């Protein structure tokens, strides 16, 4: 039985003095908090939808979740090409890059419209997030981060994830107009990743 439920039953027992019942009540709340935090941490490590359903459904639910967190911003996801399951590493990198770019658009840009384009081409996965928000000054396509990039890890993290997948991340932002974050990642299919994994285990 769930710990919180056991604590609740103990606390409601008629032989339990009120002070002990209060303590059990607090303990029950803490158990529920801990369970919730654990669920969030587990989901943040790797969103379950990613493994179960793949990148596109995971991005659809991200778009829904993120747009309910703000008012007056529309998030539009548009998928092009033949959707295929990708290697777990690539799916996670792609998901995290889109997640961060969308969160940045919602948190910093005050955009009215955020658009995510996902394009599956035979060789590449192409992810583009555009917003019509306030924009910012950044180091365009430079390997040197702009000052505001250094203080925070979001953009640095997106670049690093793209690099680890042998891809590139480009940001173009125009103050007053909006921002475009574009990741181009070489396609690694799910079954190629398995074959590679098995081959490297045998080696
Ligand atoms: N889409 C955007 N529109 C406007 N400003 C942005 C956008 N994305 C990033 N920025 C600016 O770049 C900074 C760095 O972003 P990031 O590295 O993700 O860190 P954080 O989100 O933690 O501040 C932000 O603080 C913000 O000033
Ligand atoms: Mg950020």
Q: What does the alpha-carbon distance between residue 57 and residue 52 come to, in Å, rounded to a whole number? A: 9
Q: Domain check: are 91 and 182 in the same one?
A: yes
User: Which of 84-93, 106-115, 147-156 shows the lowest mean pLDDT across its residues?
Assistant: 147-156
Tell which wins on pLDDT, 137 or 182.
182
Residues 35 and 82 in one domain: no
CATH of the domain at 172: 3.30.565.10
- In total, how many domains does the chain have? 2
* 127 in a structural domain: yes
User: Which residues keep their CB under 5 angstroms from ion ligand 2?
Assistant: 104, 154
Both tokens of 57, joined, read 């459904």
* CB of 108 closer than 6 angstroms to any ligand 1 atom: yes
Ligand 1 pocket check for 149: Cβ under 6 Å:
yes
Retrieve residue 31's tokens: 């158990």
The token pair that represents 100 in the structure block: 């961060």
Element holding 172 (H helix, E strand):
strand 168-174
In a domain, 202, yes or no: no
Over range 56-64, report the average pLDDT: 95
* Residue-number span of the structural domain to which 8 is assigned: 3-44
**And the tokens for 198?**
């098995």
Q: Is 90 among the domain residues?
A: yes
- Residue 52: inside a domain: no
Q: pLDDT tier at 69 (50, 70, 90 boundaries)?
A: confident
Compute, in angstroms, the gap from residue 39 CA to the centroid of ligand 2.
22
Model pLDDT for residues 85-96, shown as the tens digit of each residue: 999 999 999 999
Residues 20 and 77 in one domain: no
Residue of the CA atom closest to atom 26 of ligand 1: 108
């Amino acid at each position: 039985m769930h710990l919180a439920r056991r604590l609740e039953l103990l606390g409601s027992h008629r032989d339990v003095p009120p002070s002990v019942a209060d303590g059990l009540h607090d303990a029950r709340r803490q158990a529920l908090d801990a369970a919730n935090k654990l669920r969030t941490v587990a989901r943040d490590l790797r969103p379950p939808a990613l493994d179960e359903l793949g990148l596109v459904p995971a991005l659809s639910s991200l778009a829904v979740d993120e747009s309910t967190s703000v008012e007056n911003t529309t998030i539009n996801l548009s998928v092009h090409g033949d959707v295929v399951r990708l290697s777990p590493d690539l799916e996670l990198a792609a998901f995290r890059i889109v997640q961060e770019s969308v969160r940045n658009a919602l948190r910093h840009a005050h955009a009215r419209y955020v658009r995510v384009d996902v394009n599956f081409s035979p060789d590449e996965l192409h992810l583009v997030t555009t917003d019509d928000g306030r924009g910012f000054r950044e180091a365009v396509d430079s390997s040197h981060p702009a000052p505001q990039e250094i203080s925070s890890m979001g953009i640095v993290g997106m670049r690093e994830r793209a690099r680890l997948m042998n891809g590139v991340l480009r940001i173009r932002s125009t103050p007053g107009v909006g921002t475009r974050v574009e990741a181009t990642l070489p396609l690694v299919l799910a079954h190629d990743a398995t074959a590679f994994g098995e081959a490297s285990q045998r080696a």
